[in-house]
Amino acid sequence: VQLVESGGGSVQSGGSLRLSCAASGFTYSSYCMAWFRQAPAKEREGVATIDSNGRTTYADSVKGRFTISQDNAKNTLYLQMNSLKPEDTAMYYCAARGDYCVWPSRGDSYNYWGQGTQVTVSS
């Protein structure tokens, strides 16, 4: 299984970014895909999840601003991030597990991880 993130970058407060995670070799019929983030000197935190039925969950800190989605034809996971704030600055990781979503989670239950993409929001 390989997960490859892209789409990070630097934006000003209030701006938007869309992260992508291209998955390959992932053949579970029941699965969970997730986005996590980790800021310097902080613990990793879950941002959002989506399962094989399309059900989603979000951290309270991003509800109403971020949207997780997936394109099964392209084997790609997305995270649309709007109204970005400086506190959203972090390395963002795509993760997956071949089972139901575990939420809340700091990621210990997720088996597969991407390399991360940096998001920096300036005030």
Assess contact for 81 and 63: CB atoms under 8 A.
no
What's the chain's average pLDDT?
A: 96
Ramachandran region of residue 82, left (φ > 0), alpha (ψ -120 to 50) or beta?
Answer: beta
- In the predicted model, what is the mean pLDDT of residues 84-96? 98
**Is residue 26 predicted with pLDDT exceeding 90?**
no
pLDDT in the model for residue 90: 98
Return the closest-CA partner of residue 97 out of 45, 23, 33, 41: 33
Flag whether pLDDT at 74 surpasses 90: yes
Say yes or no to pLDDT of 27 above 90. no
